[in-house]
Chains A and B, each alone.
Chain A
């Protein structure tokens, strides 16, 4: 459903994504992992059209997204750090977002109800705590019942109850056959919510397969040690490339 064809992106001199190729299929849930600064958020923002790759192309439903905006109707995005107009009230924010997609009339209010956002709709965004802002972001991402959900560190900053609520919502949507992309550093969450693992290292895809085959490859039975092994391999790769460049 989404294919990323050899995109590259540089910020200044730093090459964040190098000839990056990936594809995401409907009905799957992808865990996007990698150390800080490996290019996870850049990848997500490229898919959303917020970051424009220097070369390569991204196709959503077979059509290039370059200069297009309509495809974003089908994408629900929950940012890592939700930044909203400070003077706006929660209720106004929701009605504005609904106004942006006038053709969608049926809203998915599961999370709005679960997080009891209706009760605090008169609060302004600037006065909310980090966790409450995350709740608003999550509720907005699911509001329009999108086909694709892009969740950047969804459970970070949420209290345990809210995190569980969100996770069960993600599970529900996954069963409904949606494409879900999740980045996170919380491996237990990823294991619960995803079936495909993608490990990005220094702007390149280091691993991309199902979680089952990841476990097989690393001959580990559990997810976390398997990822730990993967990380060790990347470090080895790094040291070998260093040796090679010195030679």
Chain B
């Protein structure tokens, strides 16, 4: 397993994409640090960019990588190694690469200009979202035989979770504004990993007061130890379920 991961990582870290992505993230972080000295403003701006960009890049890159690496996968499947290990090594290599890019690209500027707890949370959220969307991308990839279709599915998932879902939630909140919605919104938030990541960040930023009564309720829920635990559990479900499903399909796939 470790051997497979070593070769998969070796291949992926040598690709030009890893470097370009890291430099891009670093440039974003540096330019935002230049604009403002207030750390909470920095982390808010970084969060707004990250929450859009990281899932998108993760989804598209993981799908392309899966298809570009089919040769390697086929080669390995004719060797005395377990299918599940071939799958996991590919997946972990992508997640590790994306996480490293965030860690270096955002982390270095933080080392230079300082960071607070919200910025550390930002790094963690970025890595979790990378992993979740890599899982989605692998699921899309093993479900189809066509690269274009798989990228389409990955993009559709990104659009849904990043754009469409929020519109849907807003619509519900407006339509049922006369009812107490705190718990319902809480439930709705759980159904979207991107929102969960965003809330995890916002709760660190002390701006929940801006969100009115629901915000206060959220603050109360998520700041408690149980709330945090619930969030992490739900996020790990978002991580494990797509990966588990795609692993099962991969085991039965013909090459």
Contact = CB atoms under 8 A, between A and B. Distances in A.
B11 A100 contact: no
B178 to A, nearest CB: 53
Nearest to B79: A100
Nearest to A42: B254
A134 B14 CA distance: 25
Contacts of A69: 80-83
B80 A100 contact: yes
Contact of A83 (B3, B7, B74, B79): B74
A48 B75 contact: no
A69 B78 CA distance: 9
Contact of B80 (A70, A83, A85, A86): A70
Contacts, number: 57
Nearest to A48: B78
A70 B14 CA distance: 31
Contact of B252 (A52, A71, A79, A88): A52
Most chain B beta-carbon neighbours within 10 Å: one of A45, A72, A96: A96
B11 A73 contact: no
Contacts of B77: 48-50
State which size class the interface on B falls in: 20 to 34
A101 interface: yes
A88 B72 CA distance: 10
State which size class the interface on A falls in: 20 to 34
Interface in A73-101: 73, 75, 77, 79, 83-88, 96-97, 99-101
A50 B252 CA distance: 9
B255 A83 contact: no
B248 to A, nearest CB: 13
A235 to B, nearest CB: 29
A102 to B, nearest CB: 8
Nearest to B70: A83
A101 B78 CA distance: 12
Nearest to A73: B80
A1 interface: no
Contact of B72 (A49, A71, A85): A85
B69 interface: yes
